[in-house]
Amino acid sequence: MDSFPASIRFELGVYVDIFVKWLYTNFGDFFDAVSSVVLWLMVNIENILLWLPWWSVLIIVLLLGWRFVSPIAGAIFALMLVLVGSFGYWDHMLYTLAIVMASVVISLVIGIPIGILMAYSTHAQSVMRPILDFMQTMPSLVYLIPAILFFGLGKVPGVFATTIYAIPPVIRLTDMGIRQVSKEMVEAAVSFGSSSWDILTKVQLPQALPAIMAGINQTTMMAISMVVIASMIGVKGLGMEVLIGIQRIDVGRGFEAGLGIVIIAIIMDRISQGVANRFKIPS
């Protein structure tokens, strides 16, 4: 057999390593600062969730489901959570919820401005498009590597990896939503002497809101789908339980935890879709 010549060797990986090390030595302080902000956010969300009595969580979910989906859906959501609790996974579920919420919040804070920038500048769009495509086709596992490098193990790299994985939809849909706003509407606003800020906040963002809400929904779903993978770098929660189930070939345990994730996904999907529908603009 004629195999590929060993003499043709380009060690891209080495250069990537060098680059990452360079980043780390030069921007170490920056990563530390980011790390403490993310940690602060995570810890606070976790603490609030853990502080809530279990029945109040049920009531909140019941009411949200009632209001944004349907009364029956609200009741079903609450029962589903009772099921997760009965598996003994209540706290794990809250940990998972916390990392998802933190990642979504960070995704919005970073993603919406980037989306706006892309909508305003075709240049920015042509730079960002391939990056987003790249991010979405990259196996999610790969994000763990820079996450560990920059932030070590634990919650912060978990949030980091989850955010990178989950952020593209909200960016894309913000961009698309703003570009879709009717030209005449924007011109009407301009003709009344609106400032650029007026145009953005009084016309473009409100008009793009349904698209942005759809982006938030997708971003949330992607964040949830990342939790098992994030558990590999030490993120506590349902994902970790699935992972342990796999490692110990404990099908029962893995199944229970997996079902817990599915339940969270269903509830968050339905409720965020219900909220998004509220923002639909009649046309």
Partner 1 sequence: MPVKIEVKNLTKIFGKHPKSILDKVNQGWSKEKVLAETGHTVGIRNASFQVHEGEVFVIMGLSGSGKSTLIRCLNLLNKPTSGEIYVDGENILDYDKKQLKKFRQEKLAMVFQHFGLLSHRTVIGNVEYGLEVRKVPREERLSIARQAIANAGLAGWEDKMPNELSGGMQQRVGLARALANDPDILLMDEPFSALDPLIRRDMQYDLMELQSQLQKTIVFITHDINEAFKIGDRVAVMKDGVIEQIGTPEELLDAPESEYIENFVRDIDRSKVYQAKHVMFKTTVLVTIKQGLKTALNEMKTNGISSVFVVDSERRLQGIITIDDTVAAIKEGKTLRDILRDDFFTTDTEASLQDLIPKATDTKYPLAVIDENNKLLGLISRVSVLSALV
Q: Using the minimum distance from each CB to partner 1, give the nearer residue, 149 or 205.
A: 205
In Å, how far are 78, 87, 129, 154, 244 from 53, measured between CA atoms? 14, 18, 44, 26, 27
Neighbours of 120 (CB within 10 A): 16
For residue 88 the two structure tokens come to 């003994």
**What DSSP state is assigned to residue 199?**
I
Residue 190 CB, shortest distance to partner 1, in Å, is 6
Residue 137 or 191: the one with the smaller Cβ distance to partner 1 is 191
What amino acid is encoded at 124 in this protein?
A
Q: What backbone phi and psi angles, to 5 degrees, belong to 140?
A: -65, -25
**Closer CB to partner 1, 189 or 232, in the complex:** 189
C-beta of 276: minimal distance to partner 1 in Å? 14
Q: State which residue, 252 or 282, has the beta carbon closest to partner 1.
A: 282
**36 vs 201, beta carbon nearer partner 1:** 201
* Sequence-separated contacts (24+) of 250-254 with Cβ below 8 Å: none
Q: Nearest distance from residue 132's CB to partner 1, in Å?
A: 27
In whole angstroms, how close is the CB of 176 to partner 1 at the nearest point? Answer: 17
Footprint of partner 1 (CB under 8 A):
182, 184-185, 187-195, 198, 202-203, 206-207, 209, 281-283
161 with 233: CB under 8 angstroms?
Answer: yes
Q: C-beta of 189: minimal distance to partner 1 in Å?
A: 7
**Using CA atoms, how far apart are residues 200 and 84, in angstroms rounded to an integer?**
43
